[in-house]
Amino acid sequence: MNENVYNQIKEIKKYALDNKIPIMVDRGIDFLTRFIVDHQVENILEVGTAIGYSSIMMALSSPNVKITTIERDQERYMEAVKNIKKMGLEDRITLIFNDALDVEVDGTFDLIFLDAAKGQNIRFFEKFEKNLTEHGTIITDNMDFHGLVNQEEESMSRNLRGLIRKIKEYQEFLENNENYDVKFLTTGDGIAVAHRK
Ligand code: SAH
Ligand code: MG
């Protein structure tokens, strides 16, 4: 990474930190970008752009990568547009401003990366599976949700408890899905890798 690119990434990370935007942690990004290189991934669909950080990192991992990414929050979407333009990646990253559950995406992708509302992952999975290539992979971030998934529930608010239950339901949904080989990694904030058989 040249110095200019490095500094821009640093700025994006700082903006995320200052504005409490939950971008992927370094270990998670390392895993994702290595996966892309190792599996020669070319087309990626991302659900949950935020300000474009993970899209940018994925695009930088290989010049062959093209990404379509969906964000429903206008302010974040606008920030992502700005960041992607600044990095000169607008030819390889297509942004969609919409709720992922309300939008139809054309084409197929060899990797689908789910990183949006953590309680909706079953719905995202079932909706976008039709956009996955035959032996493609669906990767999901935040399966451990900051370590809370395996914690005592009594100390949590009702909302949080509900969310944690949904993450566990999604975990079971993946485990019981016979069409996929599924691995749960403790890397970063917990990553699920579901590879279609
Ligand atoms: N992938 C980003 C972080 C995404 S944070 C990165 O690592 O850099 C999760 C984002 O998903 C938030 O910005 C939130 O607004 C968005 N989101 C949540 N539910 C969504 C939905 N149904 N459709 C589109 N975006 C959604
Ligand atoms: Mg995440």
Q: What is the pLDDT of residue 134?
A: 97
**Nearest CA-CA partner of 165 in 178, 175, 150:** 150
> How many domains does the chain contain in total?
1
pTM: 0.97
Give the model confidence (pLDDT) of 81-126 as tens digits: 999 999 999 999 999 999 999 999 999 999 999 999 999 999 999 9
Out of 26, 46, 60, 115, give the residue to mutate to test ligand 1, the one with the largest number of ligand atoms within 8 Å of its CB: 115
What length is written for the chain? Answer: 197
CATH of the domain at 140: 3.40.50.150
Q: Decide if pLDDT at 146 tops 90.
A: no
- Could you list which residues have their CB under 5 Å from ion ligand 2? 24, 115, 141-142
- How far apart are the two ends of the chain, measured CA to CA in Å? 35
- Spatial neighbors of 83 by CB under 8 A, at least 6 apart, are 8, 12, 51, 52, 53, 56
Range of the domain at 147: 3-99+107-196
- What is residue 153's DSSP assignment? S
Structural contact between residues 19 and 85, judged by C-beta atoms closer than 8 angstroms: no
Ligand 1: which residues within 6 Å by Cβ?
A: 22-24, 48, 50, 53-54, 70-73, 76, 99-101, 115-117, 120
